[in-house]
Amino acid sequence: MSSGQIRLNTATGEWVIYAPARRKRPQELCQPPQPFPCITNACPFCDDPTRIEPIIFELPNADKTGWQTRVIPNKFPVLMPCGNSDRISEGFYISMQGYGKHEVIIEHPSHDQTPATMSIEEVKALIETYHQRYLDLMADPKIMLAIIFRNHKKEAGASQPHPHSQIIATSFVPRHRRWHEEEAQRYFDRWHRCVYCDMLRDELKEEKRIIEENDSFVAFVPYAAQVPCEVWIMPKQHKADFGSITEAEKGDFASILQRVLARLYKKLDNPAYNYVINSASRYKAEEPQLHWYCQILPRLTTPAGFELGAGISINPSIPEVDADFLRDCTL
């Protein structure tokens, strides 16, 4: 790929420019970590009952002597569980009340753990918490979409160093998500097949971008990765809705997620990253063209003017090289 290449993500319809002239080895892309602001008082997520917010959900630890995961309301929520989702006409414009829910998932009692360093059993508890909160939030008929995500380190948007994820439930479907659903619908209408199942079939056949696999999931660097060392974790069985995950699949998902994050942790010196669980919106959960998956995006590069103006990513790394790099790791 000495002259560069532009690849299409067939599932999303998004193009990615690959610029090998800018290429560095993945580990050379790591940025010096930015420290969190100095906090003089105790961490609000540590086990201090005088500081913790009202607890929405809690899983006990293995010996039932304390908690393993906790869920609390976000102190600075994006959306609020009051009002409704009715649209309001304001002349030419349309608005609605900021209805929704925003929760923080405290992943571990220890201040210094991350899913990359947790045990598989501890990550299983995290996935169980994700699943329980997802089902509960989607039980609200006013909620159209629930997005589970994790921001790791300040560079990725985390405001606290204590290990935590978040879940935001919205009363509308964002255009970005609807666009991906519509792209999958167009592919299904053309071929009568799920684009994600076809993608997974091709990745399993070629093998060169796969970095982890177990009975239920495959983890791979996508053909049109937006950023260096991007990884998708996709269930082998066709399912549109994360809420439909089985007990066995929860264990396999926890295992492969932990192993992928451990590879990033070791090979890229604990990089900043975001991950998000992409699941179907309400009324789409049973449709045949959608397939849920987890997308992990390391923060090794910074989008600049062209990317923001054109809406297209420039990746200085090569997916096949990144996959080799991440596979070459002893866990």
Binding positions: 43, 46, 111, 162
Select which of 131, 164, 180, 291 is catalytic. 164
Helix and strand counts by DSSP (H, E) for the chain: 6, 15
* Cβ atoms of 258 and 233 closer than 8 Å: no
Q: Using N-to-C axis directions, what is the helix angle for 319-327 and 247-267, rounded to 10°?
A: 100
Q: Which residues contact 143 (CB under 8 A, 6 or more apart)?
A: 100, 101, 137, 169, 170, 171, 282
Please state the φ and ψ torsions of residue 114, each to the nearest 5 degrees.
-140, 165
Strand-pair category, 313-315 with 14-18: parallel
Expressed in percent and rounded to 5, the helix, strand and coil fractions of the chain are 30, 25, 45
Q: How far apart are CA 251 and CA 22, in angstroms?
A: 39
Q: Which residues are annotated as a binding site for Zn(2+)?
A: 43, 46, 111, 162
- Determine whether 238 is an active site residue: no
Task: List the catalytic residues.
Answer: 164
